[in-house]
Structure 1
Amino acid sequence: MRQVPPTPRRGRLDSRGRAVPQRTCVGCRARTAKTELLRLVVVEGVIVPDTDGRLPGRGAHLHPALECLELAERRRAFPRAFRLAGPLDAGPVRARLAATAARQQDG
């Protein structure tokens, strides 16, 4: 019986040689490690950050930067990513990213 060699894994590996999950930012469309992105979900028509990654529903990932949020809104990427029709309120995400940016500038 002929053995087939294992196919190499694509993507990045951590220090232990394990694959690191990759996700695509809905704003800039760059593939990045899942740990570097902010997971977002929709709760009653409002996009909210899911910091623990435990909220139910379809998730979308975004770099924690206002530039990526603005790009995603300009491209109308959120309704496509969440597979929902109509406008979605990104206010809580914008507030969190603005607070994070202000904290980084202060210290």
Structure 2
Amino acid sequence: MEPVRTCVGCRSRAPRSSLLRVVAQESELVVDSSAALPGRGAWLHPVDECLDLALKRRAFGRALRVEGPLGTAAIRSQIMRTG
């Protein structure tokens, strides 16, 4: 049975393979495609709607336990490529 994670955007549960793992590195959100980068990770559906919801709710800061603004350029470009 595949592990299940919760999307920080829409808050729905989904298999880990259908979500992107996102970590914060130096105040920038980075997609962790290998799920091996150190630190806390947040899971997100690879669609603009979930990213926008997560940013609106400020879910990344809470899930990753970081303060201050986080850059989203890298994650947005990754979603554009996959979507």
Scaled by the length of structure 2, the TM-score of the pair is: 0.95
- Specify which structure has the bigger relative contact order, considering alpha-carbon pairs within 8 angstroms and separated by 6 or more residues: 2
The two structures, once aligned, show a CA RMSD in angstroms of: 0.8
Q: Return 5+ residue gaps in structure 1 as ranges.
A: 1-18, 102-107
Partner Cα distance (2:79, 2:7) in 1? 15
Higher strand share: 2
Scaled by the length of structure 1, the TM-score of the pair is: 0.75
Sequence identity percentage: 51
Structure 1 counterpart of 2:34: 52
Structure 1 counterpart of 2:59: 77
Partner Cα distance (1:64, 1:100) in 2? 7
Q: Return 5+ residue gaps in structure 2 as ranges.
A: none
How many matched pairs? 83
What do residues 9-68 of structure 1 show as CA deviations (whole Å, max 9, x unaligned)?
xxxxxxxxxx32110000000011111100001111100000011111100000011110
**Bigger Rg over Cα:** 1
- Name segments (4+ residues, structure 1) moved above 4 Å: none
Partner Cα distance (2:35, 2:67) in 1? 24
